[in-house]
């Protein structure tokens, strides 16, 4: 769509979308994130994230006992835990098990 054909509202909306995309890219480059940044980065709601920090469900830091911070590398590892195997991997494991453990 050409700028001349866009309404002012549409143009402002496209700028806002681009700005959010740029902010998200910059956020992914930080090594330490605040609570709000972590909520955006992980896609978790703030209430659920707060619950996870209180119960020790997510790795976090409270250097002064008030503000909560997160290490991006630790968060990435935490987000990628409990990997679900693909169908091919499960079939391969099943085949290997059958070969190693023939029925009698």
Q: pLDDT tens digits, residue range 13-30?
A: 888 988 887 877 776 677
Q: pLDDT tens digits, residue range 51-92?
A: 999 999 999 999 988 899 999 999 999 999 988 889 999 999
The model carries a pTM of 0.61
CA angle 42, 76, 16 (to 5 degrees): 35
Q: Which residues 6+ apart lie within 8 Å of 28 measured at CB?
A: 41, 72
Question: Looking at the predicted structure, is the pLDDT value of residue 2 above 80?
Answer: no
Domains along the chain with CATH numbers:
30-100 (1.10.10)
Phi, psi for residue 98 in degrees, rounded to 5: -65, -40
């Amino acid at each position: 769509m050409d700028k001349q054909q866009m309404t002012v509202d549409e143009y402002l909306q496209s700028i806002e979308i681009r700005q959010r995309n740029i902010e998200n890219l910059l956020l992914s480059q930080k090594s330490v994130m605040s609570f709000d940044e972590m909520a955006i980065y992980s896609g978790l709601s703030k209430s659920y994230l707060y619950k996870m920090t209180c119960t020790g469900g997510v790795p976090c830091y409270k250097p002064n006992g008030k503000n909560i911070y997160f290490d991006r590398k630790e968060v990435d590892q935490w987000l990628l835990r409990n990997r679900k195997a693909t169908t091919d991997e499960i079939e391969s494991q099943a085949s290997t098990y059958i070969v190693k453990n023939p029925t009698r």
